Amino acid sequence: MDPTLPPRPDTTPLPLLKVVSPGLSARTPILSSRRPAVSIIVPARNEEASLGDCLRSLVAQTNVPVEIIVVDDGSTDRTREIAESFAGVRVISPCPLPAGWTGKNNAVVAGAEASRGEWLLFTDADTAHLPGSLERALAEAKENGVDMLSYSPEQIAVTFWEMAVLPVVFAELAHAYPPKQVSDPASPIAAANGQYILIRRDAYEAVGGHRAIAGELLEDVALARVVKNSGRKLRFRYAADAVRTRMYRNFHQLREGWTKNLALLFPQPGWLAAKLLFLWSVAWIMFFWAPVGFAGHRRPWWTSALILAPMYLGQRLRRANFDWAMEVLGALFGYPMFAYLLLRSKWAHTRGIVLWKDRAYSDSNKRRSLATDH
């Protein structure tokens, strides 16, 4: 056995009870003593702000025998206490984090190895699942004959920078990873959203699961590539009808999260930042100079500039699935902030140290814990 890999934990299943979480009706089926159809695995590290809502939405899923496993990844807040307050939810801890592994991969491996379901649902603690969504997702995966189904959740934005930046980020992601091409076996493009990945256990184990991508910071896209490259079928789509999320709750979290991801999602972040800044600048220069054109009586040309410049930016944001107000904020302020985050991400990865969840990861896959880890 490779000494760098963590030992397999004791996977003897704990007894599961038919119980009802507080606030749910007594007729709601939660867990079954039979082998579950789906094992729901929730990695959580300091998620007290969102975990309760996530688990309430998960235990309310009906018509599918499930087990729910929360993997408490060294939380220092009330994460474990909240998870343990839900009767029937199993709370475990992962093995100590080995060198070369990311914390999330270590956590989900622990959850997968402790699970018993025919399907595995990996979902983040900041998600909320709509009623009946798991039953519909399982039916969708089976009807389409796919081994892995991933949903891009509806994004909830509250603060100014969330509302301005997220439309630009997701518009550019939709351009780089078109869902139709991701779902097309003939296309080499592979992607997934780690906030919702439903995968057959046999397919997951056949490709090596998260062990095969242990050091990947962008583990969702890496897993999708492994699955698709193995010849197995992948399906990916936007799914506001199934799941929603609020990824970041303040500017610091937003900046740290996208600094971790953007340089990995976009292969030429510097070029993309320069291109988008140029397009944004030209569009707004044309728009604000339009009154000069009117004053000079060159109205047809300047009328077109006045209308088409902001329309171009807005149209580019349409594929992000946000409302018009957020598209306006994105067109006004989101592009320069997105360019800044792209360059910041490129610099962090070039420097070789990326921070996430109070841990520092280097490109050589050597983990270094910060003081909060000790």
Tens-place pLDDT, residues 105-131: 999 999 999 999 999 999 999 999 999
Mean pLDDT along residues 319-337: 91
Tell me the pairing of strands 66-72 and 38-44: parallel
How far apart CA 154 and CA 138 sit, in angstroms, is 19
* CB-count burial class (<10 Å; 0-12, 13-18, 19+) for 325: exposed
CB 88 within 8 A of CB 56: no
Is residue 16 scored above 60 in pLDDT? no
**Tokens 């969702």 label which residue?**
220
What token pair was written down for 293?
Answer: 């054109």
- Residue 294: pLDDT over 80: no
Q: Which domains does the chain have, with CATH numbers?
A: 38-153+193-249 (3.90.550.10), 263-373 (no CATH)
Assess whether pLDDT exceeds 60 at residue 372.
no
Structure tokens at 138: 């399982």
Distance of alpha carbon 14 from alpha carbon 76, whole angstroms: 25
Residue linked to tokens 């090596």: 208
> Residues 236-284: pLDDT tens digits?
999 999 999 999 999 999 999 999 999 999 989 999 999 999 888 887 7
Angle at 96 between CA 92 and CA 98, to 5 degrees: 135
pLDDT (0 to 100) of residue 50: 96
Q: What's the mean per-residue pLDDT of the chain?
A: 85
pTM equals: 0.84
Residue 4 pLDDT greater than 60, yes or no: no
Query: Comparing 341 with 22, which gets the higher pLDDT?
Result: 341
- Residues with Cβ within 8 Å of 315's Cβ and at least 6 positions away in sequence, in order, are none
**pLDDT greater than 80 at residue 291:** no
**pLDDT value at 15 more than 60:** no
Q: What percent of the chain has pLDDT over 90?
A: 69
For 165-180, what is each residue's pLDDT tens digit? 999 999 999 999 999 9
